[in-house]
Structure formats: structure tokens, C-alpha cells
Structure 1
């Protein structure tokens, strides 16, 4: 008895081709992910910029936020960052010292201001020259601020307090946070009556308000350097750089309380 002829489905070659194509593309898709490492104070602005980039160009950025010092250390240890935006040149310099920046990609993108913030329920203006009023405002509480040993907002805050002659009386009354957004959360939750944060941190945070503005000359300029990591330049990083320099990108930075450069 003759063995029946087995007819191959006409769909089989197409299925095999699809599987081969899918397997070839899957690793490439993972490799093409573009990571943006940015200071925590940039969370709102960079989230909006990443959304704008995807809408206008189709490029996706995976944003990672944290203290600039923490992110820089991760990059130095091999984290897969394509773009790094720091809240202080110190941490960008440390990466540059290891020759890890794409030549010509470093630039300043924005400035910020430093403020003393309080709950909106206690929004009376505070005169930083009046130490008695400052201590009364603190009461038995503490002053929230990011870690002055390595976090940019804390470094700037310590500089400002030292310039105004306030550091000695306040250094033992601090509530130290690992980044500026956590310092802000202490104020929002009523855990501290006052805190030192960036002006941009208060955008979209109705529970808190600025009660004092530190003079610009009381601390180093608060500027945000951005750079592409060496060998990580791609279509997405180039499109993001173009967006930052565009009117739309500058408008987004302004909307989130920054001064675009």
C-alpha cells in the first residue's frame, strides 16, 4: 500500500520566515533601548521631554532618576546610560575625568534657584537675615535638605547657609535626605517645618510653597550639564539634543521652573 503523500502547508515557509525575523530583531530591539540618567530635580521636566520626543520622533527614552552623585557612581561602574544630566558640574567632571563622555556633547541646558520651602498652611515669608525668626519658625523641628556631602542640592544649600552665617547654628538641626525630592517630601508630609529645595521642585506641588529665596551670590551657580556617554550616541540621543535646543524643549523646561540656556 502506497504511503499517502504529505502535503506541506503553504503557511509553513511564511511562519518559519516570521520566526527567524522575530528572533533576529528581538536582541536588536533590546540593544537599541536608550537610557537617560538625570538628576531627581529634573523628574517632571525630563518625563515631559521624553513624552514629547516619542510623540514627535518616535524615539523612546528610558529615564532613570536619582541623586546626581548616585547616578554618576552607577555610570562609573558600567551602568548603561546613553545620556547623563547632572545637577552639579562636579559629578559630570568625574565622568569626564575617566574619558567617558562623547567628545563635543557636553553642554549646560538650564539653571535653577535655591529656596526655603514650607507647607502652604504656613506660607508667611521668611527673612533669612533674621535668625530669631528662622529659629522660631523651626521650633522643635528640623530643616530638611539633601545630603550636603555629595548631593548637589545639599552642596548648594550648605554653601548658602555658610555664606549667610547660618550653617553653625543649623548643622545639628538637619533632616538629611538622599536626594532633593525626598527632602521635599519631608515638608509635604509635615515631618519638617522648613526645607531647602530648588525652585523647580515646587512646580505642581500645591502642598508646599517658597517662603525665602537664597541670593544667587550665596552659592555657586546652579546649572545642569548634559552629555552623551562615549560610544552611546544614536538617533535617539541626537533627537533629544535637538529637542532640548528647540523652542518646544525650552518651553517645557520653563514650564517646570527651570531657566533654559
Structure 2
């Protein structure tokens, strides 16, 4: 399929449940566990437990309706707000948040989180505590000057952004614009924890193929510098398995601190 025919997640929407099943499930044929599940969880756990990120208010701007990367956040941030681009993903998240029938089963990741914390006998408590810390799930639109309008949020102490900037950006200029929109939500001195695919051009959700802006590690590091983010930490995990669902080469975790 020609890249010009790829859909854009934030414009066309996607099969939110199909996306979770393909990239975040515990199914035997789900080959991305090391990259999409364990690596982000390990990196965020490390940042928080070593005191590298702190505060009271955290914003998460991520792709789809994922929550597993947030398991450790409730211990360090009292208030969490999730920003998403699609109503279907917000509905999916609300089913999980309110523990409704048909909610996606994240128990395979909550058990990983509990083990990392040395709390194997408190798996259900891990999800309950995260639920209680999530105060709002809001729709955002990066085409607007105020991305959460009409809701106005206070500036965040920390922002986590997982696999979204490359999905909503057509080119370098749009990437920079979207990165700037993201850090406008961040306090001076606050941190952006970014999880990004490296050298990806597409990804599949359900039966549809979606656009991904191709960028490498150096591009992301340079982009951080251009918007005034000082890099505190970064790590790269090379792709562990081959799949035609997406063509990324690695997963990047990078932390930038906004200037005072």
C-alpha cells in the first residue's frame, strides 16, 4: 500500500480494541510484549523510583486506550489526567476506569507491575489505586490553540506521551509544532517522558493501515533541544521480533526537562 493512502489516527479513528489486542494483549501470537509492554513499564518505573520525576499533577497524552505504562504513577502524582484524540478510545478507557462489563483485561500487565514493586499479592490493588488517581479523561485537539478547550488544565509537573507524536505528525514541521503544543502543558522545570517508535512508517490496527512519521533517535534528541528541553535520560530498545503489522526498528524512551 502506498504511504499516501495510510490513514491518520487522529483524523480517521481506529478500532481501539483491535489495536490493544494486536500490540498489548497476552495472546500467544502477540509478539510485541518486550517492546510495547515491558520496556515502557521498566523505564517509567526506573524514572519514578529513582526520584527523577516528581510532583502532584501528571498528564498522559498517548495513543489509543493504553494504561499499563501508568501503573507506578499513582504513588508519585496525586492527580492524573488522560488526554486522547478519539472518542472510541475515551469510551474504552472509561469502561476500564469504572470497571464496567466488557472492559479490557489488563491483568497480565498489572501482574508485571506488582512484581516490579515486590507486591505480587496485591495485583488488584495496583489497578484500583491507579483508577482512583485518574481524575479526568478528556478529548484533545492539537489543531486548536488550547488543545483541551473548553476545559482549561493547570500546567503539569510531568507529562507522559506514548507513541502519539509520530502518529499525528505528517512531517518534521508538524512534529515540532505538536511537540511545542505538548510542552505548553508543562510547568517550567517539569519533565516530558516520551516513548516513541524509531524509523517507523506505518502501523496496522484492525484491518486498516495508519501513517507514522519516520524519525530516528537523533531527530528526536535535536527536537527536544530546539524546544528548550534538556535531556535528562534516554534509552533505546531494538525491535525484538519481526512482524508485518508495523515496521519500526526500535523503541525510544527519552526524558526532557523544561527550562525554568
Provide TM-score, normalisation by structure 2: 0.31
Give the number of the structure whose alpha-carbon radius of gyration is greater.
1
User: Which structure is richer in relative contact order (CA contacts within 8 A, separation 6 or more)?
Assistant: 1
Compare the two structures and name the one with the higher helix fraction: 1
Compare the two structures and name the one with the higher strand fraction: 2
